[in-house]
């Protein structure tokens, strides 16, 4: 299966568009290779949504999503225009500010996460089981 790629302008609706694009990739992938467990599909969609939301919040401008099947999973790459690597933020449930859990969630669901900073932004690589 070829790499799946989608580009976005960085608007708020792009979280939904990134998720829909990832759903299309996973539906196509499942026709040839079913996930080991149905939860893996949901985990990948949640990670894509979190990466998109973080990029829109912290990196103005265009975004790019690339997905590919690996030997035992799915490799998600989300690219944005910020050269600042993501960092965990304190999570304070109940204080009304929200946020702070996405980066922890991404690390919990993924087998591996890495960040590659470029001159014009960064790529967040997430490897998930399939």
Predicted structure pTM score: 0.92
56, β-bridge pairs: none
CATH number at residue 41: 3.30.565.10
Closest CA to 11 of 60, 44, 50: 60
Instruction: Answer for the pair 115, 123: CB distance below 8 angstroms, yes or no.
Output: yes
**Which of these, 128, 129, 130, 124, lies nearest to 52 by C-alpha position?**
124
Distances (CA, A) of 58 to 53, 63, 81, 86, 88: 9, 12, 9, 9, 13
Strands, E, within the chain: which ranges?
Answer: 4-8, 63-69, 73-80, 112-118, 121-129
Q: Are 117 and 85 in contact (CB under 8 A)?
A: yes
**Structural domain boundaries, residue 103:** 4-129
Predicted confidence (pLDDT) per residue in 40-80, tens digit: 999 999 999 999 999 999 998 999 999 999 999 999 999 99
Domains of the chain: total: 1
Residue 17 sits at φ, ψ, to 5 deg, of: -65, -40
- 78-82, 92-96, 102-106 — most confident range: 78-82
Report residue 90 as tokens.
Answer: 């304190």
Give tens-digit pLDDT for 4-19.
999 999 998 999 999 9
């Amino acid at each position: 299966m070829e790499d799946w790629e989608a580009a976005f302008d960085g608007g708020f609706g792009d979280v939904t568009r990134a998720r829909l694009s990832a759903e299309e990739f996973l539906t196509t992938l499942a026709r040839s290779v079913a996930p080991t467990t149905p939860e893996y599909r949901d985990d990948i969609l949640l990670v894509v949504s979190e990466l998109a939301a973080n990029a829109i919040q912290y990196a103005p401008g265009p975004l790019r999503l690339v997905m590919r099947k690996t030997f035992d999973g799915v490799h998600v790459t989300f690219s944005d225009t910020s050269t600042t690597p993501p960092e965990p933020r304190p999570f304070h449930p109940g204080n009304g500010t929200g946020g702070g859990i996405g980066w922890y969630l991404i690390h919990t669901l993924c087998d591996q996460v890495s960040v590659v900073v470029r001159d014009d932004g960064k790529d967040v690589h997430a490897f998930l089981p399939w």
